[in-house]
Chains A and B, each alone.
Chain A
Amino acid sequence: MAVKEDKVFEIPDFKPFSGEILSAPKGIRRKMIPRYEELARRIRKALLIAIQGAGSGHPGGSLSSADILTVLFFYEMKINPANACSPDRDYFILSKGHTCPLLYSVHAAAGYFPPGDLLTLRKFGSLLQGHPDWKKLECCEISCGSLGQGLSIANGIAMAMKMDEKPNRVYCLMGDGELQEGQVWEAVMTSAHYKLDNVCAIVDYNNLQIDGFVEDVMGIAPLDDKFRAFSWNVIKVNGHDIEALMDAFESARSFRGKPTVLICSTVKGKGVSFMENKADWHGKAPDAEQLALALRELDAQ
């Protein structure tokens, strides 16, 4: 089955699922797990289509975090897609900026901007830069791409919320390889020192980085012990289990006195067999044929 290289793939329709979930009260959402799974599947398809259209980008880590962000944006966080900067929102700080195809797809699914814009990813004049630029696209909250900086920013926001006695929570997604950056551990100290229990860090622990296995490149284990030693509340969770993620976020929300980290076991490239657990798919775009195959696999799930 040859696929023409210039074929334009269509971004899937999120509305039937995203709209239904977002209009449901939180209590009801718990009973909508299959809809979350379908939404995550469509988000995966969208980000792959966007990356293929761009001809470059980072599918591996985008796919591994897809379920996490689906739960975060459509279950856990207080969001306002009609007004991205609404003062009562919870903040999401993407620290591993290269996985922005996922963030953009989640934003599009939630209605921050038209899903069709995903096809402009990485193109000249696009709001969807290769790494997020919040001055172009406010819902990204920050501009990032140089790793290791997000948690510090999250802490600063959380400190401001504490000063103003506001209930907003701050979430920060980091990659496992990213934890090799020294600044992350400076920030880990700060969150604990200032008792920022309104901070929830999330580690996408997919075990792979560009040069290979994290433990071969520069080991970070034992990660849970490290965070505990830094006085954090640690929750280990399967990063592809929607219900477990809901529980984990709920637990983090109710924990007082310490910041919480969700260490999410994930599979890099999750959902596409030939991308799963392959470091090569960290930062490589599928061609049209590979995309068609990936979409068929996702459709079959």
Chain B
Amino acid sequence: MSNIPDDLNYTKEHEWVAGVDDGITVTIGITAYAAEQLGDVVFVQLPEAGSTVEAGDSVGEVESTKSVSEIYTPVGGEVVEVNQTVVDDPSLANSDPYGDGWLFRVRVEGDPEDLLSAEEYTALTSGES
């Protein structure tokens, strides 16, 4: 069973979202479940810092040995920071998906897409595997 921290929110696209409660800036990454499904991540493409995104947009991609997945932003707003460290070392998305493997930060404008609780995301992933 993959690690699914209680204090994060999740999306159906297997991303996690941190810091939703303060409603200002959130951090987004892929879940441990997503990383396990992908296998070794070899390439991460992220949105540009300073760009404006809308909730549900495809803003990048995560590529592994066997497959590629798009990265969607579950919130709209300005991309205020991207994780250059994970671009340089994509294996961080596997080894530390909730920590050093984070992907990008957005200053939120408007309401996020429907986000899942840890409990709801656990139910989603156990249905898939």
Instruction: Decide whether A and B assemble into one complex.
Output: no
- Interface set of B (CB-CB < 8 Å, partner A): none
- Interface set of A (CB-CB < 8 Å, partner B): none
